[in-house]
Amino acid sequence: MDYKYIEQLLERYWEAQTTEAEEAILKTFFAQPDVPAALERYRPLFAYEEAQQSVGLGADFDERLLKLIAAPNKADEPMQQMQKTSPTLRVKAHRVNGGISFRPFFQAAAAVAIVVLVGIGAQKSFNRDKEAWDYNPNNYSDTYNNPAQAYHVVESGLNMFQRTASADSTKEQSPEVEKDPIVNEE
């Protein structure tokens, strides 16, 4: 049997481009007992939800829990006996001032900040002899002599961005970008 459709659905599933109906097709396919060996490794992924739905509490869970709550615990009996016979102790809580306990941390943070600021100042003073940024567009030179080659590089970068953006399943599908006929002339 040919499983190309399932393989295509899996490829679309990994790219986050499947619909809920297509994912249901994949789940029913992997729920079958006779899945090919090449696709067997994907079975646990699609069978996970079905397996988790069958896990649940038993019908007698509530009764057992109520019995445990109502029954006295044997381990607590010595503690209850001791509480009845021993006198009550009063404990005073000592209040800790937050400024005193955090003072070493603030001192360390201040020392780090001073070291960082001195380092930035030293770096700026040593790099003064370098040329400033040139913001004049007339001084820029082209990186490609052939406009068609430059267009091809830009187009491949935009296509890569489009593939990455289309993999986002939370984003709505946008219409295809029309190519500019003036730029396409080669």
Gap between the terminal Cα atoms of the chain: 47
Output the pLDDT for position 171: 54
Output the pLDDT for position 110: 96
Residues near 151 by beta carbon (within 8 Å), at least 6 away in sequence: 183
pTM over 0.75: no
DSSP structure string for 31-69: HSS---TTTGGGHHHHHHHHHHHH----TTHHHHHHHHH
Output the pLDDT for position 112: 97
Output the pLDDT for position 108: 94
pLDDT tens series, the chain, 186 aa = 568 888 999 999 999 999 999 988 888 888 888 888 888 888 888 877 777 777 777 778 888 888 888 776 666 666 666 666 766 777 787 776 655 677 888 899 999 999 999 999 988 888 776 677 777 878 777 788 888 999 999 999 999 988 887 776 455 555 555 555 555 444
Residue 115: exposed, middle, or buried by beta-carbon count in 10 A (0-12, 13-18, 19+)?
A: exposed
Measured at the CA of 108, the angle between CA 105 and CA 109, to 5 degrees, comes to 85
CA distances from 182 to 85, 145, 158, 168 (A): 97, 18, 18, 31
Residue entry with tokens 């044997």: 74
